[in-house]
A = this chain, B = another copy of it.
Amino acid sequence: MTARSAADRLLDVLGAFEQEHPALTLTQIAQRAGLPLPTAHRLVGALAEWGALERDASGRYHVGLRLWEIATLAPRGVVLRQAAMPFLEDLYEATHENVQLAVRDGLEVVYIERISGRSAVSVHSQVGARWPLHATGVGLVLLAHGAPALQERYCAHGLASFTPFTVTDPAVLRRMLAEVRRTGCAVSDRQITDDALSVAAPVRGPGGDVVAAVSVVVPVAGAQTSALVPAVRVAGLGISRALGRQPGSD
């Protein structure tokens, strides 16, 4: 067994933990990581001793505090979230709807933060969850400002459908992306569920590149899209400024 394969096996053990499977027995870890039980036992032991995993009273393993501490250093996780939080709270205060912050990873959006009110529409996003780019407002923003090669790869990859309204035609998607770049915001209407609409705007880093997107998700019935657009754009500009972006040339 080389160091290379041992490293991959260790990462496979960590990768066994997912939102749907946050607590696992040793046997489950071995199965999910595709490892013999003795190998899983040894790797879980190393991870637990280091603090990457913790064992509860029932014998199941959870992600540990030390891994969380190291993850707080991720620039696109906690660091971005801390810069954005005051603006997300302002946006929530102004709308009392679901407010979301997301980044792109490959062909998906990953939600970094979400503030939701008790009366807000139910949404499927969770912190740490992933969704395809074309079906979400934040994803449209991130795709629209991505490299042309990314957009081509995304369209070639096939566009999954979630509701009768989901855009699955690459030509339509390309027109929408051009519109997002032109207007500085994206409207995603019933693309993931047939009762919700989201309005999203870009967040730019110090160099002007789009590093994240912020959105508000509202019920389709009675949605005041034109009133939400300026609020979401202002939040996006505010977060960009907090990240060191000089105002002006968007």
Contacts and interface: CB of A to CB of B under 8 A. Distances in A.
B71 A103 contact: no
Nearest to A39: B3
A43 B7 contact: yes
A247 interface: no
> Most B CB atoms within 10 A — which of A14, A19, A75?
A75
Interface string A1-44: 11110111111001101110010000000000000000100110
Contacts of A64: 74, 76
A71 to B, nearest CB: 3
Contacts of A66: 105
Contact of A110 (B19, B43, B65): B65
A71 B68 CA distance: 5
A57 to B, nearest CB: 9
Contact of A65 (B3, B15, B18, B76): B76
Contacts of A10: 6-7, 10-11
Contact of A70 (B7, B15, B50, B73): B15
How would you classify the secondary structure of chain A's contact residues: helix, strand, loop or mixed?
helix
A203 to B, nearest CB: 15
A140 interface: no
Given A4-B46, A11-B50, A50-B15, A62 B67 contact: no
A105 B8 CA distance: 28
A182 B9 CA distance: 49
Given A65-B74, A65-B103, 8 more contacts: A3-B39, A63-B70, A63-B71, A63-B74, A64-B76, A65-B110, A66-B105, A67-B71
Interface of A: 1-4, 6-11, 14-15, 17-19, 22, 39, 42-43, 46-47, 50-52, 54, 62-79, 82, 103, 105, 110, 127-128
23 contacts: A1-B2, A3-B6, A4-B42, A7-B42, A8-B50, A10-B10, A11-B47, A11-B50, A11-B52, A14-B70, A22-B75, A22-B79, A54-B75, A62-B74, A63-B73, A63-B75, A65-B110, A66-B105, A67-B71, A69-B128, A71-B72, A72-B128, A73-B128
